[in-house]
Amino acid sequence: MPPHLAPKKAKKRAEGASSNVFSMFEQAQIQEFKEAFTIMDQNRDGFIDKNDLRDTFAALGRLNVKQEEIDDMLKEAPGPVNFTVFLTMFGEKLKGADPEETILNAFKVFDPEGKGTLKKDFVTEMLTTQADRFSPEEMEQMFAAFPPDVAGNLDYKNLVYVITHGEEKDQE
């Protein structure tokens, strides 16, 4: 093979390998995904597996996750879930995604019954102990803007609407 073709071919392979998932996100976003990955990689082996997912759900208060649900999540990956695969999967899910729907789906993970509300105490626990932790002042501001009902439930659908639209939905 003529030598002038080899670099081109190698270059093409490199480009194909990096239909670069890292270029889809800003550096700060990649850092946040890395933090999330690290939290989920409970055994710190560089891969997210069944046990990591089960432990992550348990840490979030969901103890009765069916094995089938965990298997289905892992089936979405083309192979073992390392950070690049994790980022690629999120990239595919977020591509063209409606920000409102994306944020709602994040809340729905913690609301398997689909009530549309989460307990104030649970939201406080999550936001003050995981990843980018909220300060007590930030929690106070959020609950001042989005007060829970008398039973202590936070209407996350309304919260997400305001986050993405900047105003409250008219209550019908």
3-state percent helix, strand, coil for the chain, nearest multiple of 5: 60, 5, 35
Can you give the pLDDT of all 172 residues of the chain as single tens digits?
Answer: 544 444 443 333 333 344 578 888 888 888 888 988 998 998 999 999 999 999 888 887 888 889 999 999 999 999 999 999 998 888 877 776 677 887 888 888 888 788 889 888 888 888 888 767 888 998 898 888 889 999 999 998 888 888 777 766 555 4
**Phi and psi for 9 in degrees, rounded to 5?**
-60, -45
**In 62-98, alpha helices (H):** 67-75, 83-94
pLDDT at 158: 86
